[in-house]
Amino acid sequence: MSEGTDASGTGASAQPKGIDPRGPRFAASITAVLLMIAVFLGLTGLSTATDSSGWAISSASLAERASDPGFIALLIIALLFLWSVVSPRTAPWGALFRSVIAPRLSPPTEREDPRPPRFAQGVGLFVTTLGLILHLLGVPWALPIAAAFAFVAAFLNAAFGFCLGCQMYLLLQRTGLVGRERPAAI
Amino acid sequence: MTLINALIGLAVLLVATVALGIFVQWRQGRPRRHIPHEVIEPTRLGADTLGETATLLQFSTELCARCPGVHRTLAAVADGREGVSHLDIDVTHRPDIAKHFHVLQTPTTLVLDRHGVVQTRFGGAPNREVLELELARLSGETAHV
């Protein structure tokens, strides 16, 4: 969202701008599968376990919370989200799509702006990080619920091509949280 | 949590997500009528005039993957019909316009009649056939007047 990156000044990439829209959807389907696994590990792990004194996570040590399989799975997913936000071109699923999948498909009929998928990865990063932090603080159910929200977004993107990031961007902008340019005061 | 409960939880999550996706898809492309009637002044949106028969008023944002595709569709529809024009408003930096028209998702398309009255509203990518039908209805109305 920084203006300098793709403002008209660069001009080097004059040919078909944008990325193949099937790339982010391919990545989203892998992410959805990984998130499904994280939800499952979260549900069966420490996050939802109870013992005689109540929630098991409340009495667990920080190391125990951090070594929960669900936590590790979601941490890996969060790091992948971070990768896609920081450097979308080198992110593994996108690279896999371009090198293995795309050459076997017909060329894309249209291209899309790479910023929406990147913004959506940022939303995914935010949700999963929130779940990880709450889990480390000892909040029960935080892990599978955060993973489930991210799963819904990834699945809707993969299966229905529904761009949750677009909607969110506009909503956030209306509340003034993003989008630095306010209309000039008249 | 036991394995069985966790698997049930996963199944519920999957079914709920698919249902949500189907619902969203069903709701998009479906026109909404009976919207509070408002006359839209083209100058407010930076356009000179409205179409003689109808105007397709599209709201887009920069971060919107489907907006360019919808733009092409609407432009083609407008080109194919006499007196229909297409306006694409980027509301990324105009939250005031987005707020005024209650644009919660992009693309959102309003179909205006020749007076600038909002006739139909499409959230998401509009169904082209439904759109053509709406325009036929509007041009029919004009013919009778």
Q: Which of A152, A165, A169 sits opposite B20 (nearest CB)?
A: A152
Separation CA A129–CA A151 (nearest Å):
14
Q: Identify whether the C-beta of residue A78 lies closer than 8 Å to the C-beta of residue A150.
A: no
Q: How far is CA B9 from CA A144, B16, B83, in A?
A: 10, 10, 54
Find the mean pLDDT for residues A6-25. 58
**B3/A148 Cβ within 8 A:** no
The string of DSSP letters for chain B reads --HHHHHHHHHHHHHHHHHHHHHHHHHTT--B--PPP-BPPGGGGT-S---SSEEEEEEE-SS-SSHHHHHHHHHHHHHTSTTEEEEEEE-TT-HHHHHHTT--SSSEEEEEETT-BEEEEEESSPPHHHHHHHHHHHHHHHHH-
pLDDT at A185: 39
Q: Which of B10, B25, B104 sits opposite A36 (nearest CB)?
A: B10
Q: Identify whether the C-beta of residue B45 lies closer than 8 Å to the C-beta of residue B87.
A: yes
Task: Count CB pairs under 8 A between chains A and B.
Answer: 102
Please determine, for residue A118, whether its predicted confidence score (pLDDT) is greater than 60.
yes
The whole model's pTM is what?
0.74
Interface test with B, best of A17, A163, A180, A182 (most B CBs within 10 A): A163
Return the higher-pLDDT residue of A117 and A110. A117
pLDDT at B99: 79
Taking CB atoms and an 8 Å cutoff, what residues of chain B touch A157?
none
Separation CA B145–CA B131 (nearest Å):
22
Residue of B nearest to A47 (CA): B1
Q: How far is CA A27 from CA A35, A79, A85, B82, in A?
A: 12, 14, 13, 43
Please determine, for residue B112, whether its predicted confidence score (pLDDT) is greater than 80.
yes
Reading the block at residue A108, the tokens are 């894309």
Could you read off the pLDDT of B115-136 as tens digits, one per residue? 888 888 888 888 888 888 888 8
Find the mean pLDDT for residues A128-132. 96
**B21/A170 Cβ within 8 A:** no
* Residue (of A69, A70, A39, A65) closest to B5 by Cα position: A39
Average pLDDT, chain A: 82
Please determine, for residue A31, whether its predicted confidence score (pLDDT) is greater than 50.
yes
Return the higher-pLDDT residue of A174 and B31. B31
- A55's enclosing H/E stretch is strand A54-55
Q: How would residue A82 be classed by pLDDT, with cut points 50, 70 and 90? A: very high
Interface test with B, best of A2, A8, A119, A160 (most B CBs within 10 A): A160
Q: How far is A99 from chain B (nearest CA, A)?
A: 23
Could you read off the pLDDT of B39-66 as tens digits, one per residue? 777 777 777 778 888 889 999 887 677 7
Q: Which residue type does B85 have? A: S
pLDDT at A95: 92
Q: How would residue A15 be classed by pLDDT, with cut points 50, 70 and 90? A: very low
Taking CB atoms and an 8 Å cutoff, what residues of chain A touch B64?
113, 116, 163, 166
**B95/A182 Cβ within 8 A:** yes
CA angle B83, B38, B50 (to 5 degrees): 20
**A156/B24 Cβ within 8 A:** yes
Reading the block at residue A152, the tokens are 């819904």
Please determine, for residue B113, whether its predicted confidence score (pLDDT) is greater than 70.
yes
Return the higher-pLDDT residue of A162 and B34. A162
From the centroid of its chain, how far is CA A153?
Answer: 8
Separation CA A5–CA B51 (nearest Å):
37
Please determine, for residue A13, whether its predicted confidence score (pLDDT) is greater than 50.
no
Return the higher-pLDDT residue of B75 and A185. B75
Q: Are strands A54-55 and A50-51 parallel, antiparallel or unpaired?
A: antiparallel
Q: Which of A40, A110, A115 sits opposite B63 (nearest CB)?
A: A115
The string of DSSP letters for A74-123 reads HHHHHHHHHHHHH-TTT-HHHHHIIIIIGGGSPPPS--B-SHHHHHHHHH
Find the mean pLDDT for residues A128-140. 95
pLDDT at A10: 37
Taking CB atoms and an 8 Å cutoff, what residues of chain B touch A112?
65, 68
Provide the terminal-to-terminal Cα distance of chain B, rounded to the nearest Å: 69
**B3/A44 Cβ within 8 A:** yes
Please determine, for residue A5, whether its predicted confidence score (pLDDT) is greater than 70.
no
Which class for B108: exposed (0-12), middle (13-18), buried (19 or more C-beta within 10 A)?
Answer: buried
Q: How would residue A170 be classed by pLDDT, with cut points 50, 70 and 90? A: low
Does a cis peptide bond (omega within 30 degrees of 0) precede residue B107?
yes
